[in-house]
Structure 1
Amino acid sequence: MEVYTVTVATGTSEYSGTNNYIYVTLVGEAGESERTLLDNPGLDFCRGAVDQYKVSSFSPLGPLLLVRLEKQRYWVEDNWFCRYVSVEPPGGHEVLTFPCYRWFIGDGQLEIREGTAKTLKDESSPELLRHRRTELEDRQKTYRWISWASGIPRCIDAKTEADLPQDVRFDNEKRSDFEHSLHYALLELSLKKLVVQFGKSWNDLDDFKRIFWKLRSPIAEYCMDHWREDWFFGYQCLNGSNPRMICRCRKLPDNFPVTADMVQISMSSRTDLQQEVQAGNIYLLDYSIMDGVPSNTIKGLRQHIAAPLCLLYQHPDRGLVPIAIQLGQTPGLDTPIFLPSDPPLAWLLAKMWVRHSEFQVFQLLSHLLRTHLVVEVFCVATLRQLPAVHPIYKLLIPHLRYTLEINCRGRSQLISPDGIFKRVCPPEMMMMMVMMMVVMVVMMVMKMMKMMVVSTGGDGLLVLAQKEYQVLTYRSLQPPCDFRDRGVSQLPNYFYREHSLLLWEVLHSFVSGMVTLYYQSDGDVREDLELQTWIRDISQEGFTELPSFGLSSSLSSREDLSTLLTVVIFTCTVQHAATNNGQFDWCAWVPNTPCTMRQPPPTDKDAVTMEMIMATLPDVSQSCVQMAITWHLGRAQPDAVSPVSMILLGQYTDEHFSEGRALEMIDRFRVELKEIEDHILSQNQGLDLQYLFLLPSRIENSITI
C-alpha cells in the first residue's frame, strides 16, 4: 500500500469554503489511487483553510499527472473555491503543487495538473495531451465571441454578468465595497437634498463649493484654487486624466487660421509663432473626433458638444500655456478664435469648452475603449485558446482578473437598447436613479452612469467609440512609439511620459525574461500552435473591422511576443491607472472638467457673461452625480478590502508559476518596481502639485474598476 500526503487549500474570500463532500483521486502514469473522501474530524474546507489528508494506492502510481477533485452535495448546495492541491509522494520525494484557483459549482469533477508551465511541444504524455485538448474544448464552449455593436472590438458572449462563469466573477468583498462606498458618497455630499434639483443652475462659481466640502483630495483642492490659470490648463494636458492627447504642431492646421499677430502677446520676446513652430515649441489639442457626434437629451433638454482646436506654447518661463482656441472645426464668423488677450470671461469659457471635450474623450476613448474594451479582447482569447498550464496563460491571467464582469455589466445595464443610457431622467426620478447606482454596485456600471449626465450619453457614446476604433493602432498602445509619433519626447515636466517609460521598460524586461525562459528560440514561438491560434483569435476575431490596426495574425519571434505581452499588461495596469486614478482629482471641481454643457458654444466673444457661463455649466444635480461618481471611481480602496479585492502591480497572490527561475524573475520584477516607487516619491518631494498616479503601489494588477 502506497500512502500519499495530500494538502488542499481553500480560498480566502468570503463564501469560499464548503460543507459539501470533497473527493480526490491521484492519477499517475502507472494508474490511479483510491477515490478518497477528504474528511478529517473537525471542520474541513473552511474559508482560508489548508487541510492535510492521506490518500492510499494499492500500487505505485509512477510520476503523478493529474489530481481529480470531485464535489457532491451534502445537505444544501454549497460552492467551493480551491486554491491548490499539493501532493507528497511516499518515500520523501519532492512535494508537487497542482494550482487550481477555480470554483466548484454544483456536483461535478475537475482534473488539475502539476504547476510546471509547459508549451504544447513539451508534452509527451498522451493523458496530458488529452487533458490539454479537453480543457480548451470546454473553455471554447463557455467563452464565446459576440459583436455587441459594429465598429467596436468584439466581446464576451454574455447578456448579463449572471451569464459569466463564477471563475471570472467578482468576489463578495468587492461587491460589498461598491455598495458601501457609493452610499457613503451620497451621504457625505448631501446629494439626497441636491440631486433632485434637475435643471437648476448654480448662481455663481463659488456655489460649486457646496458639494466640495467633505470629499476632498490635495490635487482637487489645488485644482479649485488654480483652475483659471493658463499654466494649470497646460499642466493637465501633460499629467491630467488624458495625458496622451497633446501632439507637437509641425504645421498649423488649415482649418485653424491663427496668425502670428494674434498670439504674439503670448510669445516670449524676440520670437514669433513660425519660429516657435519650427523650434518644436508649439503643441496642439485637436478634438476633431467630436465633430458630428450626436449630443444627449435629458428630459427634453438638449446638451451640447464642441470639437475644439487648442494651440499651446511651451513658454521658457511660464511653461506650457494655451494661446489660441477655436471651438469648432470649421472657421468662420460664428466660430471665433479665442485668445488670452480677450475679455477674461470669454477666454475662461473657451477653456471650459476644451476641458468639457476632454472629459468626453478621456472617459469614452482613452479610458473605456483603449483600456477596458481593448483588454477584453485579450482576455477572451486567452481563456479560449491557452490552457492553464501554458506559460503565457500563467503570465497573463492575473492581469485579466474581473475585467469581463466589469465590461459585461456596463453593456447589459447601461448601454443596451433598454439600458439606462437611453432613458430620460425627469427630476422626480433623479434621486431614484442615483440610488439605483447603489443597487448596481458595480464600478463599471457607475463609471458608465456618468453618461446620463454627460453630453455624449445615448447614441453619441457609440458613435464616438466607433470613430476612435477606426483610427486605433497597435503602435499607439506602445508608449515609446506613441510619444515619438506625437512628437512630445522633449516636453519638460511630462511626468506621465517619464513614469510610463520607466514602467514600460521594467515590464518589458520582466516579460522578455519570462518569454526567454520558456521559448529557447524564435522558432519555438513560431511552432507553438496554441500560441499562434491565440494571436489569430485576437487579430481576426477580437479586433474585427479594423484593417489598419497593425497587429499581425501570427507571431514570428520572441521579441514580437514580448512586445505584445508587454502591451497587454501595460494597458491592464499602467495605462488604466493613468486614466482612472485621477478622475476625482481633476473632475471634482466641476468647472475645471464639466461633464456636460447645457448651452451651445459662444459665437461672440464680447457677449460672454457670468450668467451665460452658469447657464452653460452642469446644473446642480448633474454636478452632484459627477462629484460622487468621480470620487467613487478614483478613490483608493480601503485596507480592509485590498488584501482580497485589490491586488497591486507585481503582486501575484494566485501562484500559477512554480519553477524557481520564474519565481526569481517575479521577485526581481518587484524589486525594480520598488526602485521606481522610490524614484517617483523622491521626485515629488516638496512639490505643491504631485504626480503620484503611476506609483506602483497605486496601480492595480488588472482592470477591476
Structure 2
Amino acid sequence: MIRSLSTEHPVYALLDYHFFADFGMEYFARRELLSPGTPYDQVTGYGATGSLRAVMREFGTTSVELDLPTDLAAREVESLTDYRLNRYGTKYYSIIKTFVRKYVQAYYQNEKSIRDDAELQKWAQRSSRLEYIHGFPAVFTGYDDLVRLLTHFIFENAIKHHFMNGQASWHSIASPFHGPALYNKPLPTKKGEDVNPLDYAAPSETVPKMAYLYSWFTRQVPVNASALNFYLVEPFTKETLLVEPILEFQHNMQDMEHFVEFAEKQEMHPIDIFKPSSLPFYSFI
C-alpha cells in the first residue's frame, strides 16, 4: 500500500530508507528458512512449516496500535529496569519520536496540511482495509497519529528487531542447545520430573547445520549503516530543514552509545549488541 505514495513523498522516503530490504528479506526467508529441508527446518523444534503456522497465527494479534509504550504497559513491565527493552528501548523510542516529529513538521507546516495530503490519506485509507493489518488509522488527523505510526514502524525495524534477531540469535546458541530447539519436546509442568537435557538439543548430526545457520545472523555492522549515522544520505542531507533534526538525532545516539556501554559494564554478563553502533538502519540478519 506504500505505492499510494509517490517516491518523492517525504513519508515514502523515510519508510523506504528503513524498509527497502524487507521485501527481499521476505523472499529470502521463505526460500532459505521456511521451506522443508532447509537447515532451519532440520534444527528447530517447530520446523519450517510449524514456524510458518506460528507466524500466520501472529497476524491475528499484531496491531499497529501496539507500540512500545502500549506494549510495556499492557505487560506491566515498565518498572523492570533490568529488562533491556525497557531500559534501552524506551530511550531509543523517545529519540526516534523526537526526530520523526521534527521531520514531519519540516514538511507539514500545520495539521491541516496533513489532512489535505491526498496521497497520505489514500495510503491510510487503503492500509486500514487490509485483512492482516490491525489498528492502522483510516485517516491521519494531525501530527500525533502520523508521528506515532512512523515512530512505531521505525522502532520495530531498526531497534526492536535487532534486540531479538541478528546478533541476538547468534548469541542465543550454545551447541548443541539453542532457543528454537527447546520445542522438540514439551517442557515439564511439574516439579520432580526427570529431564533428559538432550531432549532439548539439536541432534548431533545436525549441529554443523545449526552452527552454519546461526552464522548468518552475526556480522559487523558497517559504521555508515549504524544508528550513529542514520539519515546521513540523500534525500535527507539535501533538505536544509533537516540539518538540525539530524544533528540532534546524532548527538542523542552518541549519548545512547555511552549510556549503554556504562550500563552494561555494571552487569555480570555484559552484552554489546544494544549499542547504537550495533544497530543497522534496516532489518538485516
Q: TM-score range by the shorter chain?
A: 0.7 to 0.9
How many angstroms does 1:387 deviate by? Answer: 1.9
Q: Give the equivalent residue in structure 2 for 1:461.
A: 51
Change (3 A) 1:603 1:575: closer
CA distance in 2, matches of 1:670, 1:402: 23
Q: Within 5 Å, give how 1:29-68 maps onto structure 2.
A: none
Change (3 A) 1:531 1:607: closer
Change (3 A) 1:517 1:494: same
Partner amino acid, structure 1, of 2:278? R
Tell me if 1:697 matches 2:277.
yes
CA distance in 2, matches of 1:545, 1:673: 33
Partner amino acid, structure 2, of 1:582? A
Q: Within 5 Å, give how 1:208-223 maps onto structure 2.
A: none
Among 226, 237, 240, the alignment partner of 1:648 is 226
Partner amino acid, structure 2, of 1:625? K
Q: Alpha carbon RMSD of aligned pairs, Å?
A: 2.5
How many angstroms does 1:567 deviate by? Answer: 0.8
CA distance in 2, matches of 1:497, 1:602: 30
SS in 1 for 2:47: coil
SS in 2 for 1:484: helix
Q: Give the equivalent residue in structure 1 for 2:84.
A: 495
Q: Give the equivalent residue in structure 2 for 1:586.
A: 172
Q: Give the equivalent residue in structure 2 for 1:509.
A: 98
CA distance in 2, matches of 1:671, 1:463: 42
CA distance in 2, matches of 1:685, 1:414: 35
How many angstroms does 1:386 deviate by? Answer: 1.9
CA distance in 1, matches of 2:8, 2:230: 20
Does the 8 Å contact 1:539/1:551 carry over to 2?
Answer: yes
Q: Which has the higher strand share?
A: 1
How many angstroms does 1:697 deviate by? Answer: 0.8
Q: Within 5 Å, give how 1:242-641 maps onto structure 2.
A: 381-382=1-2, 384-412=3-31, 415=34, 421-423=35-37, 449-476=39-66, 478-541=67-130, 544-545=131-132, 549-580=134-165, 581-591=167-177, 593=179, 595-596=181-182, 598-599=184-185, 601=187, 608=194, 612-637=196-221
Does the 8 Å contact 2:158/2:282 carry over to 1?
Answer: yes
CA distance in 2, matches of 1:594, 1:689: 22
CA distance in 2, matches of 1:389, 1:520: 18
Q: Give the equivalent residue in structure 2 for 1:254.
A: none
Does the 8 Å contact 1:495/1:691 carry over to 2?
Answer: no
Change (3 A) 1:653 1:522: closer
Q: Give the equivalent residue in structure 1 for 2:268.
A: 688
SS in 1 for 2:216: helix
How many angstroms does 1:623 deviate by? Answer: 2.9
Q: Which runs of 5+ in 1 are unaligned?
A: 1-380, 416-420, 424-432, 434-448
Q: Which has the larger radius of gyration?
A: 1
Total equivalences in the alignment: 282
Change (3 A) 1:668 1:603: closer
Change (3 A) 1:538 1:621: farther
CA distance in 1, matches of 2:83, 2:190: 35
**Percent of aligned positions with the same letter in both sequences?**
22
How many angstroms does 1:673 deviate by? Answer: 0.8
Q: Deviations over 1:369-389 (max 9, x none)?
A: xxxxxxxxxxxx33x122232
Partner amino acid, structure 2, of 1:511? V
Tell me if 1:660 matches 2:249.
no
Change (3 A) 1:563 1:602: closer
Does the 8 Å contact 2:128/2:138 carry over to 1?
Answer: yes
Does the 8 Å contact 1:535/1:555 carry over to 2?
Answer: yes
Does the 8 Å contact 1:572/1:702 carry over to 2?
Answer: yes
Q: Deviations over 1:632-665 (max 9, x none)?
A: 303325xxxx36xx71124335310322121221
Change (3 A) 1:628 1:539: same
Q: Deviations over 1:210-236 (max 9, x none)?
A: xxxxxxxxxxxxxxxxxxxxxxxxxxx
Q: Deviations over 1:583-603 (max 9, x none)?
A: 121223443635255556558
Change (3 A) 1:482 1:622: same
Change (3 A) 1:607 1:515: closer
How many angstroms does 1:405 deviate by? Answer: 1.1
Change (3 A) 1:602 1:520: closer
Change (3 A) 1:511 1:519: same
Change (3 A) 1:453 1:509: same
CA distance in 2, matches of 1:661, 1:627: 47
Q: Which runs of 5+ in 2 are unaligned?
A: none
Partner amino acid, structure 2, of 1:690? P
Which has the bigger relative contact order, CA under 8 A and spacing at least 6?
A: 2
CA distance in 2, matches of 1:676, 1:632: 27
CA distance in 2, matches of 1:471, 1:560: 21
Partner amino acid, structure 2, of 1:593? G
SS in 1 for 2:177: helix
Partner amino acid, structure 1, of 2:156? T
Q: TM-score, normalized by length of structure 2?
A: 0.88
Change (3 A) 1:586 1:458: closer
How many angstroms does 1:605 deviate by? Answer: 5.8
Tell me if 1:671 matches 2:251.
yes
CA distance in 2, matches of 1:593, 1:623: 14
Does the 8 Å contact 1:596/1:617 carry over to 2?
Answer: yes
How many angstroms does 1:529 deviate by? Answer: 0.3
Change (3 A) 1:702 1:602: closer
Q: Which has the higher helix share?
A: 2
Partner amino acid, structure 2, of 1:386? L
